[in-house]
Amino acid sequence: MVNQNVKALGEQLDKLQEALEIANENGLLKNDPSTYQKILNHVTDALTKLNQNPPDIIGARKEFSSGYFEFNDAINSSSAWWRFKYSIGGPLAIYLVAVIICVFLAWILFSPILLKSEILWVPSWAFLWGSAGGVLQGFWWLWQHVSDRSLRKYWLIWYFLLPLIGAILGALTYLIFLAGFISATGEVQLKSDSLPMLLSALAGFSSRWAVQLLDKLTSIIKIGSK
């Protein structure tokens, strides 16, 4: 039980220190380095108490609570713009909402055209649904980073590029699906677009899954060429 408490408290201290470093990186304590050092001292003292033999869990918890209070107080004392930008990810949330609205409006208004038109031999809807998946991935990541207080200002450009990356991955995944369909059935015409649409959206949402799929395809092509 003692080891479990020490481990759990150690993880909380690591998260607090990481959140402090990220907040400082984002300019929270730019003009108040003494507060940064004060919070960091609480974290250091807590870790020191945990590493004692036997560990001073009560003392470590007090230091953690003091540091956590100081950190929250620093955030609440910051400007409204800083809290809106980094505590809740407001600009990114607005951007993602705007993009997803545009995607669904495009589908509602132009779906007959999108179902028939192609871009580089790929149906236009593959790009559209891949972009929608990328936006959903952005919402998921934003929620996680805001919850963990780990939203870095250097990631803003990555969030802005997610719809474009999702669109590209959606198109590539469609091509992979089409190649597999032709190889398995010998037919070149899909009877239904529902499954490839879902796969395109999934590729945009899970870029890791899409990249793994591309890696597998590359391996298969290498083996086939040999």
Residue 224 has what pLDDT?
47
Cβ–Cβ < 8 Å for 169, 203: yes
- Rounded to whole angstroms, how far apart are CA atoms 166 and 150? 23
Output the CA angle 94-97-100, nearest 5 degrees: 150
Q: Is the model more confident about 209 or about 181?
A: 209
Query: Nearest CA to 75 among 11, 26, 4?
Result: 26
What tokens were used for 225?
């060429």
The answer to whether 130 touches 173, Cβ cutoff 8 Å, is: yes
Closest CA to 67 of 27, 128, 21: 21
Averaged pLDDT, 3-13: 85
Condensed to tens digits (0 to 9), the pLDDT of residues 67-111 reads 999 999 999 999 999 999 999 999 999 999 999 999 999 999 998
Separation of first and last alpha carbons in the chain: 57
Q: Treating both helix axes as pointing N-terminal to C-terminal, what angle do 57-76 and 2-25 enclose, rounded to 10 degrees?
A: 20
Question: What is the tens place of the pLDDT at every residue in 127-174?
Answer: 999 999 999 999 999 999 999 999 998 888 889 999 999 999 999 888
Q: What's the pTM?
A: 0.83
- Token digits of residue 150: 């780990």
